[in-house]
Amino acid sequence: MSNDVDGAGPAEALVSLPDLAIDALRSAAHEFVNEHGWSLDGEIGVPEPFEQTQFFLVLSKHLGPLFNVEAYKAARIAALKAELLSLEG
């Protein structure tokens, strides 16, 4: 299986998530499979290693920035600076 997600290479797709978030994604995967009849990566049950499933890779790619405090701060500062410039101009 390829680690590419929406054209992103493996390094871009693999985002470091806290253990609590990984556990939550694993629980969600089990619920989707066991209670809603989903199939992850075309397999019965939740495939292992879970962290290499498309389900995990796509969600971690999109949720990862929420756990990056420094990136959030930088984006917020940039937005506030842009707003300040527009108010001053």
Q: Residue 15's pLDDT band (boundaries 50, 70, 90)?
A: low
Place of tokens 């978030």: 21
Looking at residue 44, its amino acid is I
At 34-84, the pLDDT tens digits run: 999 999 888 889 999 999 999 999 999 888 878 888 888 888 899 999 999
CA distances from 17 to 28, 32, 37, 77, 83 (A): 15, 20, 26, 23, 31
The pLDDT value recorded for residue 14 is 52
The pLDDT value recorded for residue 50 is 92
Spell out the alpha helix ranges (H) of the chain: 10-13, 19-36, 54-63, 69-88
The pLDDT value recorded for residue 36 is 95
Q: Residue 4: is its pLDDT beyond 60?
A: no
8 or 86, higher pLDDT? 86
* Residue 38, C-beta contacts closer than 8 angstroms, at least 6 positions apart: 32
* Residue 15, C-beta contacts closer than 8 angstroms, at least 6 positions apart: 60, 61, 63, 64, 65
